[in-house]
Structures are given as structure tokens and as C-alpha cells.
Amino acid sequence: PVEVFDLVIFGGTGDLARRKILPGLYRRFLAGQLPEGMRIIGAARTDFDDAGYRSFVNDAICEFVKPSKHDKERIKEFVENIHYLAVDAMGESGWTELAALMRPGVIRAFYFSVAPRLFGPLAERLHEYEIADADSRIVVEKPFGRDLETAKALNGVLAESFDEHQIYRIDHYLGKETVQNLMAVRFGNVLFEPLWNSQYVDHIQITVAESVGVGGRGSYYDKSGAIRDMVQNHLMQLLCLIAMEPPSDFEPDAVRDEKLKVIRALDPVDQADIVRGQYRGDDDVASYLEDAENEDSTTESFIAMKLGISNWRWKGTPIYLRTGKRLRDRTSEIAVVFKDPPHSIFGPQEGRRGNVLVIRLQPNEGMNLRVTIKEPGPGGMRLIEVPLDMSFAEALADGDDIPDAYERLIMDVMRGNQTLFMRGDEVEAAWAWTDPIIEAWEKARTKPVPYDAGSSGPDDSLMLLHRDGRRWREIK
């Protein structure tokens, strides 16, 4: 277990708290990781008392935690640690009461699970009412700004009340088992690292495909689009972990320094290397324009791009990113595609594809290395590719129990470990790289190209690789 804590969840009645944070905390409780005496305090605008909020939490657990884990007694034990206080982030009500609730000598963490415009006011009030102490932590949700200027302003506001070591900017992709395993595989083996450079890696593909549309959050999404919603944060973080130099140790700043260097080494992107798309509707699903309730929208629900990194390790190895909504399937993966051997002693081999290391984030977190072997049997030296497969669910004893990204990250907050959280300068560097791309679209008034719902995105995105003699892995 971690040390005794008080965790205040601002926005404790919201969607994220209900679906992820509270169920995740309950699973950590079942795993015996939450200390005796800890408290979870929901804080939002709704007028709940403790009993009302406990019943809300009970319902969230029943809805979002697997039924096999529903033990009435355990849930009851868990919710006894739960309290509620009505607090207004923009006003003065509730703050004196919250200050009075705090206990000396107990770790205090404040989760900002509210709309971003409330991040600043919350930080200010925590400071003003002396609710936060020097060891307190704040957890800040996405989105962290919408460009460099707003991100800097937000960093500035938070810095008035908190030191950088107290600020935990969440990118839940970093809490995924596979993402951490990526570092274990790269830096815990001797097998991969010598090949991890432009001499041996032909190219890298990062795909985050979703089958759902923007649905209920259409009008929110329409203001950001795929580049702000996915690329600037999640895909950029994955790219950093794939491309960074080995840090000297696993300390938070050692890792984050290396990630930052990757972002700073990214080449500016040529508009010809970007494809933006917007999904069409069909008989079953609404189009993006309908979902966004904006028939003139030029926001992209899909983006594919080719990137270059100007450093000794990666110069010459393109990185292709793509992400979108309403695609064929829900898949997130990173594929490191290696070059062919310098010479084939077996003569030309029809359709042979080289080694690929696939790091799968969802579904079925795991890794898979494609290697070439001889086709078994008497048919001569014919080569085939087979996967060396490692699915984490199978490899772990209680396989279906891989902790959710949020629960892992919340535990890291309690431990005071910032390795898997974005530092302020990282976020700013990522915006500094994204801003000119967006400005160029705005200036040229470019429009996204339409693509069919349930497809792999616009054909132009296939061309992005075809013209380089490469092709995307299938979305499945």
C-alpha cells in the first residue's frame, strides 16, 4: 500500500470520475493497495451528502467494474472511505469547509476532473484557502491548452500556486501497460537497442484508430479536431517513448528530458505530408458534419502525417502517424518496421515482408515480433513469416487483471512518481511543434477530404505511404 492520503476529486460526479477514477480506485482497494485510513472526497457542484455520494459511487462500481468483482461487503467497506462536499470552483462556497476537512500529516492530492477553464480557479483557491501544502499534488486532466499561448498561460497560473514537482499532467496513454513495457523491452534487453536506429529501421507507424464517431461530444470536438485531441498529446507521447535516447536512469526528469529532446528534434511538417479527413455518414451512422452540428465545419476527424526527426539516431527514418474516428476498427498500435537483410542468400522471395515489432495498445495489449523462418516441409528453401507473440493477458497469471491506465497513474500520484506525467515544458514544446501546422491550415483555409465511415480513412492517406513504396498495416 501507499501512504495514507486524502484524495479530493473535483468533478467527482462527472463522467470521467464515474467511468474511470472511482472504479479504478475500487480495483486498487481490492488489490490491497489503498492504505487503511485513506479518504476519497468527491467535490462538485451537485448537492450530495456523504450517503448520497456513496450510493453514486456504488452505482458507478456496479456499472463499470466487472461483475466478478462485485462483492457487496467489499464495496460497502470501500465506500466507507468516501465523503462528499459541494464546492464551487468559480465561487467561494465550500472552500472553508474543505480546508477544515484536511488532516495534518496526510498526503493530499487534488484531482482536477473538471472542464479546463476551471483548472486555474481551482489551483488559486487551493492556495488561497491554504488547503494545499508543500507536499500536495494536483492532477490535471486534458486538454492542456489549445495552443502554445494558452498552454503557457495555464502553466503560468498553476505555477503561481504549485511547484512543477507537485503538478501531474495526465496523459492516460502513458499509464498503459504496453507503453511502459515499451521502455522495458527497449532498455531491458540487449536485442533491440542496437537495431533501434535509421540504419536498421525502415520506418515506424503509429496508428490510433477508433470505430466510434464524435457523437455526443461533437460540438466540443469540433473546436479541437484530431490534431489537438490526439496528435499533440497521445501520439506525441508514444512517439517520444519510441524515439528517445536511453535515459541514464528511470527517474522522472531523466526520462522527461529525453522525451523533450525528441519533440525538439522534430522537423517542421510539410503540408504535402499531411492528410486530413472527415467521415461521411451512411444509412446507419451520422456524418461528421451532422455529429458536429456544424455543416460548414473544416475540422478533421482523421489525420495522417509523415514526420522526420533530425538527430543522429533517426535522420532518414520516417515516422507515419494516423488517427481518426469512425474507422474500420478500434486499434492502437506502434509498428517498428525493420529493413530487409542486406542480401538474400535464398534468391528473390515473392511477397516477403521484413521483421516488424508491433506494440499493441488495444485491443489485447501485447507485443508481437514478426520473424522469418523456413516454411516447414520438403518444399525447398521457402521462407515464411511467423509472429513471436506475447499477449500480456496470457503471460500474466491473473491475465485479465491488467490495471487500467487511470488506476496505475493515480497510484503513481500517491507515490509521488512523475515519470509517467507530462512536464510543463514537454507540453509547451509539443504545442510549439503543432501550432504552425494548424496555422498553415487556417491561413490556406484547407478542407479535410471526406472518407467513408468504417473505412481505413481517406485514400490520400494510403498514398502518403505508397509514394514512398510502403504501406500501412491493416486496421483490424
Q: Which is closer to ligand NAD, CB of 87 or CB of 336?
A: 87
Separation between Cα atoms, residue 87 and residue 42, nearest integer Å: 9
Q: How far is the CB of 429 from ligand NAD (least distance, A)?
A: 21
> Positive or negative, the Cα torsion across 296, 299, 304, 306?
positive
Which residue numbers are catalytic? 234
Q: How far is the CB of 172 from ligand NAD (least distance, A)?
A: 7
State the pairing for strand pair 107-112/5-10.
parallel
Q: Which is closer to ligand NAD, CB of 166 or CB of 233?
A: 233
Q: Which residues pair with 323 in a beta bridge?
A: 208, 303
Q: How far is the CB of 248 from ligand NAD (least distance, A)?
A: 32
Q: How far is the CB of 150 from ligand NAD (least distance, A)?
A: 14
| Contact assessment for residue 407 and residue 17, using Cβ atoms and an 8 Å cutoff | no
Closest CA to 335 of 321, 325, 314: 321
Buried-exposed string 435-447: b where 16+ CB fall within 10 A, e elsewhere: bebbeebeeeeee
| Contact assessment for residue 396 and residue 402, using Cβ atoms and an 8 Å cutoff | yes
The cell 494545499 sits on which residue? 132
State the pairing for strand pair 449-451/167-169.
unpaired
Closest CA to 391 of 421, 346, 361, 426: 361
Q: How far is the CB of 321 from ligand NAD (least distance, A)?
A: 20
Write the CB contacts of 195 (distance below 8 Å, at least 6 apart in sequence): 201, 338
Q: Report CA-CA distances (Å) from 306 to 195, 269, 366, 468, 472.
A: 21, 8, 25, 11, 12
Q: Which is closer to ligand NAD, CB of 125 or CB of 259?
A: 125
The runs of H, that is alpha helices, within 168-276 are: 177-188, 218-221, 225-226, 236-243, 252-265
Q: How far is the CB of 91 from ligand NAD (least distance, A)?
A: 7
Q: How far is the CB of 167 from ligand NAD (least distance, A)?
A: 15
Q: How far is the CB of 230 from ligand NAD (least distance, A)?
A: 11
Q: Report CA-CA distances (Å) from 245 to 4, 52, 357, 375.
A: 36, 50, 18, 37
Please give the residue ranges that form the binding site for ligand NAD (CB under 6 A). Answer: 10-17, 44-46, 87-90, 113-116, 118, 141-142
Q: Which is closer to ligand NAD, CB of 146 or CB of 306?
A: 146
Q: Which is closer to ligand NAD, CB of 18 or CB of 306?
A: 18
Q: How far is the CB of 281 from ligand NAD (least distance, A)?
A: 24
Length of the chain: 476
Q: Which is closer to ligand NAD, CB of 84 or CB of 162?
A: 84
Separation between Cα atoms, residue 422 and residue 184, nearest integer Å: 19
Closest CA to 325 of 455, 197, 209: 209
Q: Which is closer to ligand NAD, CB of 18 or CB of 108?
A: 18
Separation between Cα atoms, residue 63 and residue 317, nearest integer Å: 45
Alpha-carbon torsion angle 341, 343, 346, 352, nearest 10:
40
The cell 490535471 sits on which residue? 140
Query: Which residue has the CB atom at the shortest distance from ligand NAD?
Result: 14
